Amino acid sequence: MRTHTLRFAIMLAWFVALSGLVACHPDDNDPKGQAGDLGDPVRREYALGRLQSIFSARLSDAKGDRSAAPIKEFCDQTVEGLSKAYMEHPEDTQNGLRILSLLNEMRDPRSLPALIKALDWTAEVSEDHAVTAALTMTEIDIPTDKRGDVIEAICRAVMRVDGARGADNRMRKSFIEVLGKLKDKRATDTLVKIATKRDASQNFLFNVLAAQQLVGIADPASVPAMIKGLYWFDANNPAMRMNDVATSALVAIGKPALEPLLKVLRGEDQVANDTVKLYIEAIKQKDSEAASKINPRATVSADASFTLGKLGFREALDPLIEESKADDETRRLGAALAMVSLVRTPEDTTKIVAELKRVYDSVKKDSRPQLLVAMRHLYAPELMPFFFQVTKSKEDELPPIRLYAFQGYALLANKKEMAELKPIFEKDELYKEQLKDHAPLFALADECDDKIECWTGKLQSPDKIILRKAASMLARYGRGNDKAIHGLVQLFGHRDLEVRNEALGAVDAIAIKGSKEAVGKIDELETVEGGRSIWNNFKREALPTRSRLLLRSAG
């Protein structure tokens, strides 16, 4: 009897003990309780699994709305425990990555201490931790008082990357993008170092990516580096350069870039001159004949002129006029093309028109079509007689000259001017055959003449020549018109590059106070189309224009 009683007492004690153990574990659907188990190495993996399941179910019920009350409640109950578990148990790298992945889904700024710690990566151990943390930082709104800590940690992390493995490249990309997202001048020095780095371990695309982030930061301290960037190139593939991005960065910086660029234009910037020499030498290694045809002074001048034009300040007009008198035709042509983009007074327009005509007469005939296209984008009525004169000429040696002159006139002509062009079109077989798609423009000019609303309505046409005509007429008559700007922005994503460029040029001409809508559309296209052929061709004009529009908006 005594033995039976003893056995019963022992069993009862075990039952009570086990009941106590079971009772101390949280309910499977209790996020706060599961977060409390993260400090237990035995329970951590299970608790994480439950937390991930709870969060996924709540996010699904909320249809992806992270501002929903159940999501906020989950974050309030778990973010501290998740962050603490990550920081206090660095040895558990597998579950540490799972914690970071959940924090990435939660996107809660309170997780920053854990994210910053994850940036202190160890090779072959925790590179994915650092990448996940950086990706999370691009998703969350980092408080102003925490940005310094984040930038310091990111800069330290990215400067430690010195390999060319897949993990190294993933880290580079994510770290650079965080610095760009923050748009903070404290990141300038690190981004400049990456943008101008030349090392076998770093693909040149990362140089370009770093320079792209400098566009958004617009720090005058990056001017010397971005001037170098106008001529910087991939040593393994000299055809790959960052001049378009560097131009955008300098334009975004604005006035502080003006004098340094004028110094480059005068040939007085030794870094620019030496970089071009290195570029020519790299070309020579691959094609000595091609390298022998490159004029170093003209190469320096071309990109400096182009950037000064996109920068747009009137102070560049006289230096560009002086450059347009150089003995070298490339220099003359580059300077003339740049004048078209400058902000100008009516008196300036008269001066620019005279200089463009002079340069036109001085260059070889095969360069004239390019100049005629640029002249059209001056959108100046003062040039209409010139276009008309060239259109009437009998220049048969190089027919494109007359074709471009005709097109320049036709795209900008009002009702009266188109009526004067019509007899020429009907009698000249060159125009009737090569520009037959321009025939509808005569009736169109009769209908709309100089009426902004009418031309804005034509931006819905499926006919690309009508779209180009409407864009050009709005550039001539629609200065400051918001409806016209809105309609033109919709054409930035058109499948035809000519339509895109026409719309872009028109917005640049008439958006005198900038356009957030246009900037947003260019941003969108850069994200969606990056790497595609149409974007690669569009970005040379789109990126500097975006910077100009941003600069006007800020002003």
Ordered mean pLDDT values, 10 residues apiece, the chain (555 residues): 52 47 72 93 94 96 95 96 96 96 97 97 96 96 95 97 95 97 97 95 96 95 98 94 94 95 97 97 93 95 96 95 97 96 90 96 93 94 95 79 94 97 91 91 96 97 96 96 97 96 96 94 93 90 90 76
- What pLDDT score does 394 carry? 78
Identity of the residue numbered 533: S
Q: Token pair for residue 71?
A: 């999501």
Q: Token pair for residue 55?
A: 């969060």
Check: CB of residue 187 under 8 Å from CB of residue 137. no
**Secondary structure of residue 181 in the 3-state scheme:** helix
- What pLDDT score does 25 carry? 76
Q: Measured in whole angstroms, how far is the alpha carbon of residue 70 from the centre of its chain?
A: 37
With left for phi above 0 and alpha for psi between -120 and 50, is residue 64 left, alpha or beta?
A: left
- What pLDDT score does 110 carry? 97
**Secondary structure of residue 196 in the 3-state scheme:** coil
DSSP H stretches of helix in 377-463: 384-392, 399-412, 415-427, 429-434, 440-448, 452-457
**Residues counted in the chain:** 555
- What pLDDT score does 552 carry? 85
- What pLDDT score does 551 carry? 82
Task: Please state the pTM of the whole predicted model.
Answer: 0.86
Q: Tell me which DSSP letter residue 549 carries.
A: H
Burial class (CB in 10 A: 0-12, 13-18, 19+), 413: buried
**Cα separations in angstroms, 34 against 22, 81, 237:** 14, 9, 54
- What pLDDT score does 20 carry? 44
Cβ within 8 Å of residue 236, ≥6 positions away: 204
DSSP string, 101-115: HHHHHHT-GGGHHHH
**Secondary structure of residue 169 in the 3-state scheme:** helix
Least Cα distance to 470 among 490, 547, 374 occurs for 490
For 244-278, give one letter per residue: b (16+ CB within 10 A) or e: bbbbbbbbbbbeebbebbbebbebebeebbebbee
- What pLDDT score does 15 carry? 47
